Amino acid sequence: MTNNFNEDYQYDSCTANGRCSVNPRISSLQEVLILYLKLLAHYALKLHENNRKDDVAKNIILNIISVMVLNSDFSEKDFEKIILKLNNELPRIKEEYATLCEQNDLVPDYLKSVLKFDDKADIIKSIQLGERELLKKIKSISQEIRNLYTILLVLAKSICINLLDLESFSVNNEEAYIYILKLLDSLNVNKYNLEEIKTLIKDAVRFDNTLMKQLRKVQEERYGIQRETVVSYSTTPSKALLVVGSNIKELEDVLEASKETEIDVYTHDEMMLAHTFPKFSEYKHLKGQYGQGMDNCYLDFATFPGPILLTKHSLYNVENLYRGRLYTTDIAYSKGVISIENKDFSPVINSALEAKGFKTGKKCESVEVGYNFDKTFEKIKNKFLKGNYSKIFLIGLNAYTLEQKSYFENLIKKTPKDVLIVSLSYCEDTDNIICINACFDTFAISKFGEEIIKEFDIPITIFFPKCERHSVSQMLYLSEFEYVKVYVGRCAPILLNPTLIETLGKFFSVKTLSSVKKDLETIFE
């Protein structure tokens, strides 16, 4: 079984929309986007080194990386809009740097670029430029080096998301921003060897892990220590508003803005995490979770009778969904989505009041999620002491596919009884397993994994059934520990394509799930 009320769910949004592969034209635009960001980071870093901060550049760099880099869920028009913004911004910051050098008698460090700024950005020209740059890379840089650079961008994306989430709590981490600038600027070199890039990757992984821990600490200081709680999937007759994504500070802002209204607020997807913090139980109009499954917004969004707020980094392709009721706080967003600025949620509130809402409501089964880490870890230690265990398996978040469900049910059945299984999702009623319904808590596998590694001096195998934006950072971090093996499930190509998975295996010993029999044989070698 799995720790989810709806075990029949098996498809994600890219499968439903037939977009699990990457469009070559979008890949070309991604390449151009990175060209802009690398140059922008270089000059922003030079300004910062001379005590000139540029908040406009900072906002653009962090938000574009967190939303659009390595994300094919945007149309060519969306990229054109962002590239136009960068096309206007880059000459400005370069000129500011030139003025600084002139005023302080400094020798300017300009970078050569294939980008042209003599006219407005053109989508066809951008695609052609991206294609040329991709071909140049293929001819001059090995596939392995290109894959390692891509992994570095994946880590930069994770760092940016964690940094922006921290800043939503008014936590200023200037060190993290400078790290991002240096990381992007390092990509301007393009002359690193394998070992140098691996060192950059390992450093980024450690930095990102520190940010993840800091973010969870800030969340618990504000909202209370996480605990087990029951989350309702029922709906009630009322006006309604749906909050989507992972930025729980923005959920708090929406709840505060709507608390004097007759609007019920529901969470979707990763936002379920908020229910595990005691503070959110104080909001009586926060009714519960809405939707049939993780990663599939189409049916859920289409059937929700009110506005939907996409919080920061809600990486959904909403181009095919209905217009006029989708809102976002992100700097980059698709056509038909309405921008929310300066934390003014009144447009969303007014939209909810004008919408039909739930007329009758529907009673659905509730689900118990969350954990108190200290109590749960004490339970793990007690279980270990009472048994004669030779290994520990840690199973991460549910991937919500029938293939993965079958694999882990089979794995649990065939794992020897002298292996202690700690599962954050898939579960069976056996003596050697501890079940924790971490559900949507993407940080849980790092938190439990690191403590288990430190506490128990035996071989540990960690399974990542699910691929999401922080998974690569987490699996690389945990794989660095001694006596640890890491396995990752099948990922959609838009998240981790097969060549990236192969590179992770070759250089960082991250293995791909195959068959239960074969994997167990490898683990027990």
By the 8 A CB rule, do 25 and 72 touch?
A: no
Q: Considering only CA atoms, which of 417, 475, 415 is closest in space to residue 449?
A: 475
pLDDT averaged over every residue in the chain: 89
Residues facing residue 464 across a β-bridge: 488
Phi, psi angles (nearest 5°) of residue 458: -140, 165
Q: Does 168 score more than 90 pLDDT?
A: yes
Helices (H), 289-443: 297-303, 346-354, 373-386, 402-414
DSSP-assigned states of every residue in 190-204: ----HHHHHHHHHHH
By the 8 A CB rule, do 423 and 435 touch?
A: yes
Give the pairing type, strands 263-268 and 286-289.
parallel
Question: Reduced to 3 states, what is the DSSP secondary structure of residue 518?
Answer: helix
Q: How far apart are the first and last CA of the chain?
A: 28
Q: Considering only CA atoms, which of 86, 92, 55 is closest in space to residue 68?
A: 86
> Could you give the CA distance from residue 37 to residue 86 in angstroms, rounded to a whole number?
8
Q: Which pLDDT score is estimated for 81?
A: 84
With the C-alpha atoms ordered 173, 174, 180, 183, is the resulting torsion angle positive or negative? negative
Can you list the positions of beta strands (E) in 247-330?
Answer: 263-268, 286-289, 308-310, 326-328
Can you list the positions of beta strands (E) in 208-317?
Answer: 229-231, 239-244, 263-268, 286-289, 308-310
Which amino acid does the sequence have at 517? K
Let me know if the fold of 229-367 is the same as that of 372-523: yes
User: From residue 205, how far is each of 228, 355, 510, 524 by CA, in Å?
Assistant: 29, 44, 14, 28
Q: Does 499 score more than 90 pLDDT?
A: no
Q: What pTM, to 2 d.p., does this model score?
A: 0.92
**Among 463-467, 482-486, 488-492, whose mean pLDDT is lowest?**
488-492
Fold classified for 229-367: Rossmann fold (3.40.50)
Q: Does 323 score more than 60 pLDDT?
A: no
Average pLDDT over residues 387-404: 90
Question: Reduced to 3 states, what is the DSSP secondary structure of residue 463?
Answer: strand
Average pLDDT over residues 328-342: 84
Q: Does 242 score more than 60 pLDDT?
A: yes
Give the DSSP letter of residue 275.
G
> Could you give the CA distance from residue 117 to residue 39 in angstroms, rounded to a whole number?
13
Give the pairing type, strands 229-231 and 367-369.
antiparallel
Segments making up each domain of the chain, as ranges: 229-367, 372-523
Question: Reduced to 3 states, what is the DSSP secondary structure of residue 233?
Answer: coil
> Could you give the CA distance from residue 104 to residue 110 in angstroms, rounded to a whole number?
16
Q: 333: how many CB neighbours lie within 10 A of its CB?
A: 22
Higher pLDDT, 145 or 490: 145
Q: What is the CATH number of domain 372-523?
A: 3.40.50.2030
User: From residue 12, how far is each of 293, 298, 432 by CA, in Å?
Assistant: 8, 9, 31
**pLDDT by residue (tens digit) across 78-132?**
888 888 889 889 999 999 999 999 999 999 999 988 887 656 667 888 889 999 9
**Among 290-299, 390-399, 414-423, 460-469, whose mean pLDDT is lowest?**
290-299
**Among 6-15, 183-192, 492-501, whose mean pLDDT is lowest?**
6-15
> Could you give the CA distance from residue 449 to residue 3 in angstroms, rounded to a whole number?
19
